[in-house]
Chain A
């Protein structure tokens, strides 16, 4: 077991990898009674096509999410939800584009809860009946999303930005695709992607790591074998698919969603993690709460709601601007003007660095946030970021300007949702 201190936040994490490739991260957070355990497979909605032993598989869209629901089914009839509620703990799961995570949290029964998490996820039980039953439940979940105009807008943006990346499809699939899913499909995917070398465990909060280690060594993950799979290589064009698209919806006020597509590989030799930080800072300085853009657009009542954020898809980052507006043309013009005439001063840059550092320390007192951070570190970098503080401190203004110059801000999709008449 390797131990490493995380700079500046007074925390130390431990790491080990079993002989079959299964990785475990342990992080105690002092002064806490709660713990959180997350079991992750690097398998999400993006992976519906794969190859095992030279056999190619293509599965219905939404299958990873369906699988997540179905892994709560046990042959004994026992229900994981009930198991955890008995001790006043919680259990849940979520599916993303590139991972599926099962987590439990509580203040008591750590040993039993960890043991059971490792057990129930590793013992799938799919039948024709329980698959059919789930179709009704998931159909309601998907309809709930379909009724949310923001979801429709985001979906349209994903389709407009990416040519081939599977993130253009919804994580949950559609009401039609999930009807095609059979128990055999589920077993094919489970047996492929729930292999120990494609999975890892993150434990944070209040627990005894030696006790945790012993439980893991007795679990199915200590002895399970791997299935090797291949994923198709997906080529992506750096340009967006569609520059402008207008759709309609049952809304009272128009909505605007813009995605600027950036291939980070084209931004020079800076380390990729640093590039992501620079883009985050640029996003904040151009459109964030202290930007001149936001103040002017606000005073001219060009929006009712505005937010900006970034989304990472492999080597791409999409800088996203989301607005509710009664003045979409003026707002768009203002955004264009801002992008054509970018000004970032050094003192603002230093101030945003201070914000990143302060937010990092604030986040470090949350068992849940630390769990999520570690999970994302392994997913994205295959290692824990233990020097974030220094990395942010050392970001420099000239590199920022250099990266800024390399970004093509015209490479963007503009999606407008207008109200139905």
Chain B
């Protein structure tokens, strides 16, 4: 896997060259330390930015252009990686073998138009565009409660504390009004100048060729930001709390948030995978087998651990009358693991699963890019080292880590319809 970084440039290019795919994938990532006051701005910005450019001044024109480029696929997304806010713009274009010469370069040129050549007037964005997206964003955010599992996942963190962990990456309605065509454009300029910028490329292309295109179309990007050493959130441990709010639904959503008390790097990035898998990782996990299969309390139940956040989350949909029973059973399952109730089979299944996932990294462009992000950007171990460490994880280590589970918040979005 070949990666380059040239100090002269304001960005790094990561390439995985392969002839396995019929498409070339390019992902641009722009990252900055997360600040609550920038989240809504960022969300509005990318909607305004990626819906027009100077050359293609409407969404329709961009869409027509994408279709002309053999149905080029374009996606943009805001997310949070630890304490960084990350905006990505991804294109997928059909290999020139199936199209015509020059399509890749033209696609990269469109990408550059969107990011670096926006539709502006007198040093600001167009007011009508900004106002339109402000209205759309307000309406969209006002419908959040209709997706109960998502709403509950956000609220479980929000009612717990006000740290970075609780930030709504989708934005805040109350932050929309102060935004306008001027301050949004200022923020845009700052983003281009200060953000950490990476290009991840997967396709049948030589490094020199992709570098020449990116250098040609992104020469306006020049900044001195370097990749940070650490993305981890600092998390404090508090006492167990519980919080209930109601919704006019048939089903209740239960979310139990836990933290691990001072896990080591090895525990956080390796042993935790086993703990989360054995607890609620799949259809043979303890939570699934007991809460769903034995007790018929739910249709879905799962757990996941976010390494950079150090948060273990258990999610399920239940009847409100079963709330106490479910919480009691879940606590008992955790206690059982702490008492060493883990079989060698569970551990081996998890090792097999993780090794299979490693083997399958090069099966698709998205997982290759995620791997490049892990290794090149987030400084996680390379594959060989990961394999070695995963295969050595022991029952004792998993049990020891499970003893570090500290339940922080037991959140219930209580469905009270039919009560």
Contacts and interface: CB of A to CB of B under 8 A. Distances in A.
A351 B64 contact: yes
B353 A85 contact: yes
26 contacts: A81-B288, A82-B284, A85-B349, A88-B354, A88-B356, A106-B356, A107-B356, A140-B251, A143-B251, A143-B319, A143-B415, A144-B251, A148-B147, A250-B247, A251-B143, A252-B139, A295-B59, A299-B58, A304-B139, A324-B140, A324-B143, A354-B68, A355-B67, A355-B70, A358-B71, A358-B94
B292 A137 contact: yes
Interface stretch (A31-39, A96-104, A257-265, A268-276): A31-39
Given A107-B356, A140-B318, A298 B59 contact: yes
Interface of A: 31-34, 79, 81-82, 85-89, 106-108, 133-138, 140-141, 143-144, 146-149, 250-253, 289-292, 294-295, 298-299, 301, 304-305, 324, 326, 351-352, 354-355, 358-359, 361-362, 364-365
B414 to A, nearest CB: 12
Contact of A301 (B136, B145, B249): B136
Contacts of B248: 250
Interface stretch (B19-27, B78-86, B179-187): B19-27
Contact of B349 (A88, A324, A355): A88
A155 B299 CA distance: 21
6 nearest A-B residue pairs (beta carbon): A136-B296, A88-B356, A81-B283, A141-B299, A358-B71, A140-B299
A88 B352 contact: yes
Interface string B35-55: 000000000000000000000
Nearest to B136: A304
Given A79-B284, A144-B317, A358-B99, A294 B60 contact: yes
Contacts, number: 151
Interface in B184-213: none
Nearest to B318: A140
A107 B140 contact: no
Contact of A147 (B60, B148, B318): B148
In this complex, the interface size class of chain B, counting residues with CB under 8 Å from chain A, is: 35 or more
Nearest to A134: B296
B232 interface: no
A31 B359 contact: no
Nearest to B360: A107
B18 to A, nearest CB: 9
Given A88-B352, A362-B22, A290 B284 contact: no
A158 to B, nearest CB: 20
Output the residue of A106, A146, A289, A362 with the most chain B CB within 10 A.
A362
A85 B360 contact: no
Output the residue of A31, A135, A144, A355 with the most chain B CB within 10 A.
A144
A210 B42 CA distance: 55
A88 B355 contact: yes
B249 A147 contact: yes
B360 A33 contact: yes
Interface string B58-79: 1110011001101101000000
Nearest to A80: B283
Nearest to A292: B60
B92 interface: yes
Contacts of B250: 143, 146-147
A324 B138 CA distance: 13
B298 A137 contact: yes
Given A140-B317, A365-B21, 16 more contacts: A33-B363, A85-B349, A86-B345, A88-B357, A140-B318, A141-B299, A143-B251, A143-B317, A143-B319, A250-B247, A251-B143, A251-B146, A252-B143, A290-B67, A355-B70, A362-B22
Interface in B133-163: 135-136, 139-140, 142-143, 145-148
Contact of B140 (A138, A149, A304): A304
B132 interface: yes
B363 A34 contact: yes
A328 to B, nearest CB: 12
A290 B251 contact: no
A107 B284 contact: no
A361 B94 contact: yes
A31 B71 CA distance: 23
Nearest to B23: A362
B297 interface: yes
A253 B99 contact: no
Contacts of B63: 289-290
B415 A108 contact: no
B74 to A, nearest CB: 11
Interface string B240-275: 000000011111000000000000000000000000
B23 A290 contact: no
Given A352-B67, A358-B70, A86 B318 contact: no
B33 interface: no
Output the residue of A81, A138, A143, A354 with the most chain B CB within 10 A.
A143
A281 B325 CA distance: 53
Contact of A290 (B64, B73, B92, B143): B64
A108 B356 CA distance: 8
B60 A324 contact: no
Interface string B338-353: 0000000100010011
Nearest to B292: A137
A146 to B, nearest CB: 5
Contacts of A290: 60, 63-64, 67
A149 B373 CA distance: 37
B145 A252 contact: yes
A359 B71 contact: yes
A364 B23 CA distance: 11
Given A85-B282, A251-B143, A253-B142, A354 B360 contact: no
B275 to A, nearest CB: 16
A34 B357 CA distance: 11
A273 B301 CA distance: 41
A354 B140 contact: no
B292 to A, nearest CB: 6
Nearest to B288: A81
Contacts of A136: 296-297
A358 B142 CA distance: 37
Contact of B139 (A147, A250, A253, A295): A253
